[in-house]
């Protein structure tokens, strides 16, 4: 664990670097219901009970986690939605520290459960979450039927997960307690 890296609450001054790091490392095509954008970051920062932290190497943002007390309509569930560490800084325990500080803040605010979703091919993310105490609770499979007239197209456009849930296209089961 690299203690020279400071983990501090995210502020407006970190926004540009957080956005750029996310664009560098997130592959949103693997989870087509998500999209990384300034809005995604700003909505977290705008929320009074956000749990957003950055890992700093001096002034450089080398990692971040964005969490909130908002998970669908469940008042005592929190959501750890985004986490990233710069490629040259991965493998030093920075993400573990970010998950822990974010989780502790969310539990302190009354969360009974923290939800995160992991794309099954993202081995690093799955290992991180399991090592951090997250256990599988429900499996959601996106089934895609492609228009035979346009076989080369992407299976799904990058639309917001909340839109899918609202329209009943994506359901999230209750986790085991």
Q: How far is the CB of 149 from ligand COA (least distance, A)?
A: 33
Query: In 10 A of CB 124, how many CB atoms?
Result: 12
Q: Report d(CA 86, CA 63) in Å as an integer.
A: 6
Considering the rule CB under 6 A, would residue 133 count as an interface residue with ligand COA? no
With residues binned 3-state (H G I as helix, E B as strand, rest as coil), the percentages for the chain, rounded to 5, are 30, 20, 50
C-alpha 153/C-alpha 147 separation (Å) is 8
Confirm or reject binding of residue 47 to ligand COA (CB under 6 A). Answer: no
**Total binding residues toward ligand COA, as defined by CB under 6 A:** 20
- Asked if residue 93 binds ligand COA (CB under 6 A), the reply is yes
Q: How far is CA 64 from CA 4, 45, 60, in A?
A: 16, 13, 11
From 90, 107, 158, 165, residue interacting with ligand COA (rule: CB under 6 A):
90
> Per rule CB under 6 A, is residue 66 in the interface with ligand COA?
no
Out of 95, 101, 105, 111, name the contact with ligand COA by CB under 6 A.
Answer: 95
**Least distance (Å) between residue 137 CB and ligand COA:** 17
Q: What's the rounded Cα separation, in Å, for the pair 145 and 125?
A: 27
Rounded Cα distance between 144 and 59, Å, is 43
Q: CB-wise, 55 or 105, nearer to ligand COA?
A: 55
- Token pair of 71 as six digits: 């998970």
Q: Minimum distance between the CB of residue 5 and ligand COA, rounded to whole angstroms?
A: 10
**Interacting residues with ligand COA (CB under 6 A):** 25-26, 82-85, 90-96, 122-125, 127-128, 131
């Amino acid at each position: 664990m690299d203690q020279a890296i400071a983990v501090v609450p995210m502020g407006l001054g970190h926004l540009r670097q957080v956005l750029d790091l996310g664009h560098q490392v997130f592959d949103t095509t693997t989870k087509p219901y998500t999209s990384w954008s300034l809005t995604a970051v700003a909505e977290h920062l705008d929320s009074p009970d956000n749990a957003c932290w950055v890992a700093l190497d001096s002034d450089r943002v080398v990692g971040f986690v964005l969490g909130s007390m908002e998970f669908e309509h469940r008042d005592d569930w929190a959501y750890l939605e985004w986490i990233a560490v710069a490629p040259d800084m991965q493998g030093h325990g920075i993400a573990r520290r970010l998950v822990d500080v974010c989780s502790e803040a969310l539990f302190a605010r009354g969360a009974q459960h923290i939800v995160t979703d992991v794309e099954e091919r993202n081995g690093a993310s799955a290992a991180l979450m399991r090592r951090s105490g997250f256990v599988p609770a429900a499996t959601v499979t996106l089934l895609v039927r492609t228009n035979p007239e346009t076989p080369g197209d992407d299976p799904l456009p990058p639309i917001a997960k909340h839109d899918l849930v609202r329209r009943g296209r994506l359901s999230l089961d209750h986790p085991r307690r």
